[in-house]
Structure 1
Amino acid sequence: MEEGCRERLLKKNYYEDCPGCKVDQYKESQRGFPFREFFSMWIIVLGTALPISSLFPFLYFMVRDFHIAKRDEDIGYYAGYIGSSFMLGRALTSVFWGIIADRYGRKPVIVFGTVAVVIFNALFGLSVNFWMAITTRFLLGSLNGLLGPIKAYAAEIFRDEYQALGLSTISTAWGIGLIIGPALGGFLAQPADKYPTIFSKESLFGRFPYFLPCLCISLFALAVTVASCWLPETLHMHSVNTLPDDSEDGLEDASRGSNLNGKMEQNEEKGPIAKESLIKNWPLMSSIILYCVFSLHDMAYTEIFSLWAVSPRSLGGLSYTTNDVGELLSLSGLGLLLFQLFLYPYLERIIGATMIIRLGGVLSIPLLASYPFIALLSGFSLAFLISCASVLKNVISVSIITGLFILQNRAVEQHQRGAANGISMTAMSLFKAIGPAGGGTIFSWAQKRQHAVFLPGDQLVFFILNVVEAIGVLMTFKPFLAEK
């Protein structure tokens, strides 16, 4: 057999028996914009993000109905435990799911995570007491560990020119899910009270007033689970038995065997790389630390913005209703979607992920400093400027997170991406658990000092947010941030 034919046969069997190499072949066959891969990432991450924030519009009333709080003032205390149980569960298991993804593949973790949403989000809607609610939320966070592995998956399934778009797809779908989730919870909770002509008090949704939004999200997650079964695996698991048994002659067997042994020896020579400590990988750890700083800022901003928007004018707020805030966030989500789809990939290609992070942080500082002065306006000028500011702030925040996703996945080899993203998710979840509590505390303190000489009222809140943002910008320079 000629040498060229032997190489083609060897490559053919190598692709057939190696899941990772099948994906290499799949990527080589991609032509044009990868619509199918883009849509797959979008719906998976959206199905994961929806249950995270969908409970907040009705959580106060759910805790009240449990009759565990002796006073109305204590309802927020118990609601905080339920709200943080998801992040706590995710923080405890993210590294574990990352290791599983590196050992057994990205696809099993993705499918299992969507199944967890189907089951435990529905059970949360059927909660009859405080402990059932907190347990189901904790299990939902613990067993839904796909966000870290799916970032590795997106970095592997797209061709090089579309990797930035793939990772921005994840952050965009996540941001949209955190906006749509509360809208679903607000409109669909307590349906027997809101829509008595459709749902009676004696029906299932009348007896479990918070089940309908959870059920809708679980049904969407079920559809995502079914669709995920057709995802290709991207983890490289090279098999020794890559050749057929019915070889034409012993000489060709020996030749192919020697070629395979050479390839296996090359893989074995990479053993030290596989054992490289992620903790000692400074490009990875520096990007994770920076990710934690910006995540802390984003969660604190999210908490403070909602409180500030609905607080009365006498305390420096906007006196918005919850519907006004929902419309504002929906507009922000639309602007975010358009930017991430059409502008971010080209911007990343021109100036790079690190420069996007740095410029985004710098632009956020004067933007946040303007919020207290925007609150002095009224009418159309207030609505227009706060809408523009909110859209721009959300675009900047998601662009920064997307850039950090790119840096983290570039800092490690493919066989370590699952574990690396697991570490990132663990650290980020802990900081995100701190952000709302810290932001709410600072906001309450600031509103008590409306007539202070230095940074009165909400000016203090946005000043502290800018301090955190400035620390993040500083950490984008060497030696704080290293790139591989």
Structure 2
Amino acid sequence: MTATATPLPVAGMAIVLSTLTSESSSVQFLFPFIPFMVHSFGVDEEDVGFYAGWIASSFMLGQFLSSLFWGWASDRIGIRPVLLSGLAATVIGTVAFGFSKSLKQAILVRLACGLLNGNIAVVKTYIGLITDETNEARAFGSIALCWGAGGIIGPTISGLLSEPASKYPNVFGENSIWSEYPYLLPCLVTSVIPTFGFLVGIFFLKEPDRKSKPHDGSLAHVQLEEETDDNCAESAKWEKQEMGDAASFKEKKCLVRSDSAMTYAFSKKALLASVAYALLRLVVICLDEATPLLMSIPRAAGGLDFNTSDIGLALFGQGLLLVLHVLIIFPNLKM
């Protein structure tokens, strides 16, 4: 008999949706204009793709290097401050990227933004803490939904608002800050999304109760089944000999220490899941980054000769298809 699904917490899911959407838009918003931005730095046409890849990947490189730290920090100081600091870093980093005047500056800004933001991993732990077995599948399904939403919002904004002085001279003027920083406007507008998430978090985000869950999802608190671990049994026997009958061991549970937690993290199942996910993301991100490059190349060189607006609208369609898949096809899939 199927258990009745517990309603998803409104405030908690608002945090999840705003955080994931801001992360998605922050990763994808630069795709429509990044080939043109790199070229504006004085990079040769044949090297644009190479350096565009460096800029796009530097954010994820930063998150890769700092993800374990932010997971550790969320266990020590709590999920709330980690999520809020990550959103704040996204706001500052997105705006700072719009002021980039050189290739080196653009790469360093994106790298710093990734280093200071571990929200993609931490928010998944948060989902596990605010849901139960009856509703966690729906909650985790929101990850793909938010990624698609960010793929709609971010590229569309940046595609239409890039180089505003040349596209809309009557509105922004040809000799203004928008001429000096042609990609600042989309960065400013995109930063509104993590700003909204930050404000929602300030007023509504509460630290989840880890004690209410037998497994809180963190590496430091991986819990094994009761009385099934030989080491735990030996430990219990030794403690009972030392302490006598003063303590009850009937409800003793084995909490894996930090060294055992790392063993769990590198178990066969965990590694297989990680490798499969990494390969999937490799294919997706290659398509996400290669598509705008192909679109921006002149027709004479085998490209499509799209401008930033054309690329933004094309990526809008891609994000829309992902959202429709999550809303229509994914719920009907059977295990």
- TM, length-normalised to structure 1: 0.53
Partner of 2:276: 290
**In 2, Cα distance between the equivalents of 1:329 and 1:218?**
19
Alignment partners' CA distance in 2, 1:342 and 1:147:
24
Is the aligned partner of 1:231 residue 2:227?
A: no
| Deviation of 1:189 (Å) | 1.2
Tell me, yes or no, if structure 1 residue 157 matches structure 2 residue 143.
no
- Residue 41 of structure 1 aligns with an amino acid whose one-letter code is V
Is 1:42 matched up with 2:28? no
Task: State the partner residue of 2:322.
Answer: 336
Question: Cα 1:316–1:213, aligned 2, differ >3 Å: closer, same or farther?
Answer: closer
Superposition pairs for residues 34-183 of structure 1, below 5 Å? 34-67=9-42, 69=43, 71-183=44-156
SS in 2 for 1:144: coil
Instruction: Summarize the Cα distance change of 1:114–1:272 in structure 2 as closer, same or farther, 3 Å threshold.
Output: closer
Give the 5 Å matches for 1:65-464: 65-67=40-42, 69=43, 71-229=44-202, 230-234=204-208, 236=210, 266=252, 269-272=254-257, 275-276=260-261, 277-303=263-289, 321=306, 326-341=312-327, 344-345=330-331, 347=333, 350-351=334-335
Q: Secondary structure at the match of 1:201?
A: coil
- In the TM superposition, residue 310 of structure 1 has moved relative to its aligned partner by 7.8
Cα distance between partner residues in 2 of 1:210 and 1:304: 20
| Cα separation, 2, equivalents of 1:120 and 1:314 | 36
Q: Specify the alignment match of 1:403 in structure 2.
A: none
Q: What residue is the counterpart of 1:375 in the other structure?
A: none
In structure 2, distance between residues paired with 1:226 and 1:309:
37
- The alpha carbon displacement at 1:152 in A equals 1.4
C-alpha contact (below 8 Å) 2:78/2:207 kept by paired residues = yes
Give the 3-state SS of the residue equivalent to 1:198 in structure 2. helix
* Alpha-carbon spacing, 1:57–1:153, altered in 2? closer, same or farther (3 Å): same
1:272–1:114 CA distance, 2 compared to 1 (3 A)? closer
- Partner deviation per Cα, 1:17-65 (whole Å, 9 max, x = no partner): xxxxxxxxxxxxx964544443331211111121212222222332333
The structure-2 alpha-carbon separation of the partners of 1:294 and 1:34, relative to structure 1 and needing over 3 Å to count, comes to same
Separation in 2, partners of 1:159, 1:222: 29
Query: How many Å separate the matches in 2 of 1:194 and 1:91?
Result: 37
1:65-122 CA-to-partner distances (Å, cap 9, x unmatched) read 333x3x3333333333222221221221112112222332222221111000111111
Maintained 8 Å contact 1:164/1:345: no
Aligned to 2:229: none
- Call closer, same or farther: CA 1:335–1:182 in 2, change over 3 Å: closer
For 2:45 and 2:255, the matched residues in 1 are separated by 61
- CA shift for structure 1 position 271: 4.5
**Residue identity (%):** 32
Cα gap change, 1:339 to 1:56, in 2 (>3 Å): closer
- Partner amino acid for 1:152? T
**1:219–1:326: structure 2 CA closer, same or farther, 3 Å change rule?**
closer
> Are the counterparts in 2 of residues 165 and 341 from structure 1 also a CA contact under 8 Å?
no
Aligned amino acid, residue 50 of structure 1:
S
SS of the residue 2:172 aligns to: coil
- Contact persistence 1:116–1:140 (CA under 8 A): yes
Deviation for aligned residue 1:184: 1.6
| Secondary structure, aligned partner of 1:159 | coil
RMSD of equivalent CA atoms: 3.3
Structure 1 309/283 Cα, relative in aligned 2: closer, same or farther at 3 Å?
same
Q: 1:54 to 1:335 in 2, by over 3 A?
A: closer
**Deviation at residue 321 of structure 1 after TM alignment:** 4.6
AA matched with 2:123: I
Using the TM superposition, give the Cα deviation of residue 148 of structure 1 relative to its aligned residue in structure 2, in angstroms.
0.6
Gapped regions of structure 1 (runs ≥ 5) = 1-29, 239-260, 352-484
SS in 1 for 2:210: coil
Q: Which residue of 2 aligns with 1:24?
A: none
**CA contact under 8 A between 1:121 and 1:214: conserved in structure 2?**
yes
Whose radius of gyration is greater, 1 or 2?
A: 1
| Letter of the 2:135 counterpart | Y
1:309–1:320 CA contact under 8 A, matched in 2: yes
Contact 1:192 1:200 in 2 (8 A): yes
